[in-house]
């Protein structure tokens, strides 16, 4: 019998352009019981690279771009319902990194124009970020109101992500088929010592012809495959877009 014990997914947050401040104006917000995480910061010619390898608990007081008590501000709450962490910035100033399920109050200048958020990308077994279909999302601050909820529906397009388990003895490559082409996005390892192989992929558009496929070829997404059609992917968790899939037989 194989026990499906998932490894903790890892994510990489892309390079972030930050304005210079006397102190960092941004924070990392977690949710959940465990506080284990790894954060690497490196300054390089005005660029700060923030690579989040694990995010797992919440932000209370508002964080913002103004360091002057009593200054006029616009306040709102941002919550992240995605399965991946997101980086929140206002006019190119990073204010928060929110783990899945986390939220933070923000206080920004009335002159602020754009809020942008970027989802972290799931990393493969080598630590390389897996590209997906969610790019940077831009929202006018004036249109946010009192709260912004980040979900898997963006500009009327639905995106899904998957955590995948493999209790078989076959190592497979994972491809995303969107009706005409296949993007090879990950490798799902075989079960080892009674523990199912595990991988987590990024977010991809859910179209009528979208399929996730597990290919017999271990690295190139070619040859025979097992598929999960759009009808099965549509059973995702609300707002997070997460679906859990198990490879029950080798391709």
Together in a domain, 163 and 135: no
| Average pLDDT rounded to a whole number, residues 236-245 | 98
pLDDT, tens only, 181-198: 999 999 999 999 999 999
Q: What values do phi and psi take at 231, rounded to 5?
A: -60, -35
Together in a domain, 26 and 93: yes
In-domain check, residue 124: yes
List the beta bridge partners of residue 173: 187, 215
Residue ending a domain, among 98, 118, 150, is: 150
pLDDT confidence of residue 239: 98
pLDDT at 65 over 60: no
In-domain check, residue 3: no
Together in a domain, 96 and 217: no
| Residue-averaged pLDDT of the chain | 81
* C-alpha–C-alpha distance, residues 99 and 125, integer Å: 21
> What would the 3-class secondary structure string for the chain be?
CCECCCCCCCEECCCEECCCCCCCCCEEECCCCCCCCEEEEEEECCEEEEEEEECCCCCCCCEECCCCCCCCCEEEEEEECCCCCEEEEECCEEEEEECCCCEEEEEECCCCCEEEEEECEEECCCCCECCCCCCCEEEEHHHCCCEEEECCEECCEEEEEEEEEECCCCCEEEEEEECCCEEEEEEECCCECCECEEEECCCEECCCCEEEEEECCCCCCCCCEEEECHHHHCCCCCCCCEEEEECCCCC
Together in a domain, 21 and 128: yes
Domain span at 167: 157-246
In-domain check, residue 1: no
Looking at per-residue confidence, does 126 or 139 come out higher?
139
Q: What is the pTM of this model?
A: 0.79
| Average pLDDT rounded to a whole number, residues 97-108 | 96
User: Considering only CA atoms, which of 127, 154, 159, 125 is closest in space to residue 138?
Assistant: 154
Together in a domain, 15 and 98: yes
Number of domains in the chain: 2
In-domain check, residue 177: yes
Band the pLDDT of 63: cuts 50, 70, 90: low
Together in a domain, 179 and 119: no
pLDDT confidence of residue 4: 43
Residue ending a domain, among 150, 174, 200, is: 150
> 53 Cβ partners below 8 Å, 6+ apart?
10, 11, 12, 37, 38, 39, 40, 123
pLDDT, tens only, 14-58: 544 444 333 444 456 655 433 333 333 322 333 233 333 333 334
């Amino acid at each position: 019998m194989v026990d499906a014990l998932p490894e903790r997914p890892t994510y990489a947050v892309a390079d972030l352009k930050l304005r210079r401040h006397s102190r960092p104006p941004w924070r990392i917000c977690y949710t959940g019981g465990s506080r284990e995480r790894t954060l690497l910061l490196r300054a390089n010619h005005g660029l700060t690279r923030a690579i989040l390898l694990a995010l797992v608990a919440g932000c209370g007081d508002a964080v913002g771009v103004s360091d002057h008590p009593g200054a006029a501000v616009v306040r709102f709450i941002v919550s992240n319902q995605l399965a991946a962490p997101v980086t929140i910035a206002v006019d190119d100033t990073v204010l928060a990194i929110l783990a899945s399920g986390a939220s933070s109050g923000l206080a920004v200048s009335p002159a602020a124009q754009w809020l942008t958020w970027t989802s972290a990308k799931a990393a493969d077994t080598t630590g390389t970020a897996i590209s997906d279909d969610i790019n940077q999302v831009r929202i006018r601050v004036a249109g946010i109101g009192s709260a912004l909820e980040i979900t898997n529906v963006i500009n009327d397009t639905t995106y899904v992500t998957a955590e995948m388990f493999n209790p078989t003895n076959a190592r497979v490559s994972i491809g995303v088929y969107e009706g005409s082409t296949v993007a090879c996005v990950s490798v799902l390892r075989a079960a080892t010592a009674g523990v199912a192989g595990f991988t987590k992929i990024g977010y991809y558009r859910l179209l009528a012809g979208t399929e996730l496929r597990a290919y017999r070829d271990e690295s190139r997404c070619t040859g025979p495959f097992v598929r999960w059609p759009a009808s099965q992917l549509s059973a995702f968790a609300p707002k997070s877009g997460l679906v859990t899939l198990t490879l029950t037989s080798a391709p």
